[in-house]
Amino acid sequence: MSAKKFHSSLTLPVAISLAIHLGIILVLALGALDFFTKKLETPEPAAAAPVQAVLIDQQKVAAAAEKIRQEKRDAERREQLRQEELERKADEARKAREQEQAKLKQLEAERKQKEIETQKAIEEAKRKEEQAKQAADKAEKERVRKESERKAAEEAAKKAEDKRKAEEAAAKKAEEERKRKAEEERKRKAEEEAKRKAEAERKRKAAEEAARREQELADMMAAEQATINAARNRQLVSERDRYTAMIKATIQRNLVVDESMRGKSCKMFIRLASDGFVTTAEAREGDGVVCRAAKAAITKAGRLPVSPEPEVYQLMKEINLTVQPEI
């Protein structure tokens, strides 16, 4: 609370208190003046009358004073309620502002992402356009090449026809030579096929052995990783328990207790932000008085101890704990 707000919260009660005290002093002064006036005016023999008047005046003064005190208490109570309402509205406004800021950040991130996606789409369209142009140029070059080849083929066809006639005479001899070579090639290929099969079998066995060794290594690595993960999980649980104990200690420090809470407890559900700010504090089960005191202690703390490690925070961002006053 700022100094200006604190000063404004005190102004009205102080003014009311001053007015009440001034009123009491004025009533007492008027009562005393009236008492002395009547005493001077009343004959001496009638002694009982002034006493009765003084008693009546004192009763009026007392009643007036009590009325003023009651009005003071009522004014103070109204002021307290007004201050509580102002604080509640301020807290709601702060939360709404935080939510709005978070929403604006998210919208800005989405806008930037859309800009990036739009730029990528433009670049992709340019790339496809360039590819299409290149493809068209390539197709035109291919058409020109094929046309040139066609003309060359026609010229070659004529030469081939002339050559064919000359080669027919040698065709028979060439066929015999071809058959001989084909037989030799068949035998050579059969030998190569036998060698290829033998090599393939050797490679298959080598691959099976390599796969077996690789599986053994993978199993060893998986076992080692499982051991590492188990140790890490134990460490995370230990850190969670340590910070949970710190949270309990913080609540105990802020807990207002009395004798009626002895032996009683309350189960609380708490949801925490990453910086320890308490976003939810609900009593789930237990003594009503203890539950209200526990919730007040949590609200007073505002922020509770939270581990800076994200993995530990994930384990404790929502916790259930039992609050038992230490009496």
DSSP labels, 88-146: HHHHHHHHHHHHHHHHHHHHHHHHHHHHHHHHHHHHHHHHHHHHHHHHHHHHHHHHHHH
Q: What is the pLDDT of residue 24?
A: 57
Show the CA angle centred on residue 310, arms to residues 309 and 312, nearest 5°.
70
Residues 193-221: tens digit of each pLDDT: 888 888 888 888 888 888 888 888 888 88
Alpha-carbon gap, residue 264 to 289, rounded angstroms:
9
Low-confidence residues of the chain, pLDDT below 70?
1-56
Q: What is the pLDDT of residue 133?
A: 87
Q: What is the pLDDT of residue 33?
A: 45
The distance between the two most distant Cα atoms of the chain, rounded to a whole number of Å, is: 181
Alpha-carbon gap, residue 251 to 299, rounded angstroms:
9
Q: What is the pLDDT of residue 1?
A: 45
Q: What is the pLDDT of residue 9?
A: 43
**Helix 48-254 vs helix 288-301: angle between axes, to the nearest 10 degrees?**
70
Report the b/e string of 127-164 with b at 16+ CB within 10 A. eeeeeeeeeeeeeeeeeeeeeeeeeeeeeeeeeeeeee
pTM for the whole thing?
0.35
